[in-house]
Amino acid sequence: MLLLSLGLAHAEEAESDLALRYADVQRCMARGLGPHWDRTYQIDQVRNRWGGLEPKAQSLESAPQGVRITELRCRYQAGLQDAERP
């Protein structure tokens, strides 16, 4: 029973860490592109399974190069460069 509890606690901690990382990406994007950058550049965002907002891959494909570079840099800084995109 103790091992199960430890396993659940570890899983919750990992999910919390990912949620914080996605929040860091959003703050980084706002710093780099300005507040409401998603509206300014018409980028659709969705909530991922950790509750964080994330730009849709399709929206990023048609975004200006500066937006795509900033998003890649922010994901890299948050350690999410290999995470799947919605």
What is the overall mean pLDDT for the chain? Answer: 85
Residues 43, 37 contacting (CB under 8 angstroms): yes
pTM of the model: 0.80
Mean pLDDT within 52-77: 95
Percent of the chain exceeding pLDDT 90 equals 66
Percent of the chain exceeding pLDDT 70 equals 83
55-64 own/partner pairs: CB under 8 Å, 24+ apart: 55/85, 56/85, 56/86, 57/85, 57/86, 60/85
